[in-house]
Amino acid sequence: MTLPEPTPEEMEERAAIDRSTRYPVMFFFTSAAAWLLVATLLGLVSSVKLRLPGLWDDCAFMAYGRLFPAHLNSLVYGWAMQAGVGVMLWLMARLTRNQLRNQAGILVAGHLWNAGVTFAVFTSWFGFGNSLPLLDFPKWVWPFLGISYLLIVAGIIPMFRNRRESLVYVSEMYIVGAALWFPWIFFTANILIGKGSAPVMASGLDAWYITNLIYFWMAPVALAVAYYIVPKIAGRPIYSYPLAHASFWLLAFLAGWTGFSRFMGGPFPAWMPAVSGAATIFILLAIAATVFNLMATLKGCSKIWEFSPSLRFTVFGMLMLATYAVLAAFSSTFSFGQDLQFSHFLVGLDTLAIYGFFSMTIFGAIYFIVPRITGAEWPSGKRIRTHFWFSTYGIITLIVTMLIGGIAQGGNLANWDQAFSTSFVNSSAYVVGRALAWAMIFFSNFSFLYQLALMFAGKGRKSDGPTLIHAKPGEAESARAAAGL
């Protein structure tokens, strides 16, 4: 079964929607890509610093404890969330067939958000942070991000309420979820941390916030993209709607319970890490069902992903999501968690979530959206290929080295009669892998930012055919089909 061809009126309507989202969405994408470059550079420098602790000793800004939070803040708030918001806005407008109103408000929110990110990155870098990963900024910074996000939610929800189809798409459900859940976890964590006299809960809340950001915000946004792009490019409906709904609600009811399993055996009532661990394991079901659903939708069209950049990035992102869910479930059991807890494995896991599944899926969306809102095609398919492969090599290098390095480090830590420093010495070779990975990711995103800047400046390729990864003359027809046009 294939979807019907759009009529000229529908094409006109879509073009109008795309025009209405152009400036806000491009603003979010370009500033996100710029922050991504900053984040990958900080990731590279912090990894080098971790391998060579004596380097640049005199300089306060070059200590790992300052570089790493600045890297995380710029990667998550600067890149991931901004790019995600841009995608949410465009997808919601297209799915509900509404033009984006209040563009000025969204642009104000975008500037406010960038101000918040700048403060968050520089305060943690310049020594005003609080050592809580991803919430590592002074108290006065979070209202910038919080208020800005609420302004964006105020733009997204009315579109959903005024949608012009009676059917609710799965992608819409995920976007509404992501829109409402983020402020909830962000405000809860920031309001409660440091309040009352529950010092231990501050660290617990931070761990809860990190995994909730991954399962309650990153996963929904990435899945909204996948549920849009995969059927669109394959040209057929989703394999199973009931399965999509069931896995949505399964994820929704489990995600909020995760997080405390990062402190198994920590100073919490024992049921809290146990419940979190169980939730992380059951989430595996939701993720497996979702990824199966998407792959079944694609069945028999695997050739397309060789040509379509959007599909290639999205499918890779979904495979990484499945990998993440499996590894997260393993490390929440006592038998694996004992050794993996607090090791390099954790960094590998968090980066797998932020870069492996979230960013790769979002790249897919950006390669799909930007030509539509700027009315031009990507200048070079070769650069897209560079971006894909170096990102892939980078993230796989990072995951494998951090995973194996984490196991090695955790094993050395468990040998309690060995000198402690053996765990550092033996794992430092793997940190070289982490540095190499960030170097590759930095290189790949350089070509991404370059292309995006060309598109932003209106220097895209003016042509009726989409830019594909392999554009040999003989394959033009299958390529056209591949792009869903």
Question: Rounded distance, CA 330 to CA 482, Å?
Answer: 37
Closer CB to other proteins, 255 or 454, in the complex: 255
Instruction: Say if residues 213 and 134 touch (Cβ distance below 8 Å).
Output: yes
**Contacts (Cβ under 8 Å, ≥6 apart) of 290:** 223, 244, 247, 251, 321
Instruction: Report how far apart, in Å, the C-alpha atoms of 220 and of each of 261, 309, 344 are.
Output: 21, 21, 26
**Least distance from other proteins to the Cβ atom of residue 62, Å:** 8
**By CB under 8 A, is residue 173 in contact with other proteins?**
yes
**By CB under 8 A, is residue 224 in contact with other proteins?**
no
Closer CB to other proteins, 105 or 256, in the complex: 256
**By CB under 8 A, is residue 131 in contact with other proteins?**
yes
Nearest C-alpha neighbor of 194 from the set 132, 277, 117: 132
**Least distance from other proteins to the Cβ atom of residue 330, Å:** 16
Q: 242 to 271, contacts with other proteins by CB under 8 A?
A: 249, 252-253, 255-257, 260, 263-269
Closer CB to other proteins, 162 or 463, in the complex: 162
**Contacts (Cβ under 8 Å, ≥6 apart) of 386:** 444, 447
CA geometry: angle at 292 spanning 286 and 297, to 5°? 130
Binding other proteins (rule: CB under 8 A), the pick from 1, 5, 166, 242 is: 166
**φ and ψ at 63, to 5 degrees?**
-80, 145
| SS3 label, residue 205 | helix
**By CB under 8 A, is residue 208 in contact with other proteins?**
yes
Closer CB to other proteins, 150 or 295, in the complex: 150
Looking up tokens 């169980």 gives 278
**Least distance from other proteins to the Cβ atom of residue 100, Å:** 19
Stretch that binds other proteins, among 26-34, 195-203, 236-244, 364-372 (CB under 8 A): 195-203
**By CB under 8 A, is residue 205 in contact with other proteins?**
yes
**By CB under 8 A, is residue 122 in contact with other proteins?**
no
**Least distance from other proteins to the Cβ atom of residue 8, Å:** 27
Q: 8 to 47, contacts with other proteins by CB under 8 A?
A: none
Question: Rounded distance, CA 159 to CA 144, Å?
Answer: 24
Closer CB to other proteins, 259 or 460, in the complex: 259
Binding other proteins (rule: CB under 8 A), the pick from 4, 196, 242, 300 is: 196
Closer CB to other proteins, 192 or 400, in the complex: 192
Binding other proteins (rule: CB under 8 A), the pick from 419, 453, 457, 476 is: 419
**By CB under 8 A, is residue 119 in contact with other proteins?**
no
DSSP 3: P
Binding other proteins (rule: CB under 8 A), the pick from 181, 186, 313, 363 is: 181
**Least distance from other proteins to the Cβ atom of residue 239, Å:** 22
**By CB under 8 A, is residue 405 in contact with other proteins?**
no
**φ and ψ at 377, to 5 degrees?**
-95, 160
Query: Which pairs count as long-range contacts for 448-452, CB under 8 Å and 24+ apart, including other chains?
Result: 448/33, 448/36, 448/363, 448/383, 448/387, 449/33, 449/34, 449/36, 449/37, 450/383, 451/378, 451/379, 451/380, 451/383, 451/384, 451/387, 452/29, 452/30, 452/33, 452/366, 452/370
Binding other proteins (rule: CB under 8 A), the pick from 45, 132, 238, 395 is: 132
Q: What is the DSSP string of 254-296?
A: HHTT-SGGGGTTSSS-THHHHHHHHHHHHHHHHHHHHHHHHHH
Tell me, residue by residue from 48 to 77, as one string, x for binding to other proteins by CB under 8 A and - for no binding.
-xx--xx--xxxx--xxxx-xx--------
Q: 323 to 362, contacts with other proteins by CB under 8 A?
A: 334, 337-339, 341-344, 346-347
DSSP 467: P
Question: Rounded distance, CA 30 to CA 50, Å?
Answer: 30
179 torsion bin: left (phi>0), alpha (psi -120 to 50), beta (else):
alpha
Binding other proteins (rule: CB under 8 A), the pick from 422, 459, 470, 476 is: 422
Closer CB to other proteins, 9 or 417, in the complex: 417
**CA 409, chain centre distance (Å):** 27
Instruction: Report how far apart, in Å, the C-alpha atoms of 4 and of each of 1, 235, 305, 386 are.
Output: 9, 9, 22, 34
**By CB under 8 A, is residue 194 in contact with other proteins?**
yes
**By CB under 8 A, is residue 180 in contact with other proteins?**
yes
Stretch that binds other proteins, among 29-37, 196-204, 314-322, 365-373 (CB under 8 A): 196-204
**By CB under 8 A, is residue 161 in contact with other proteins?**
yes
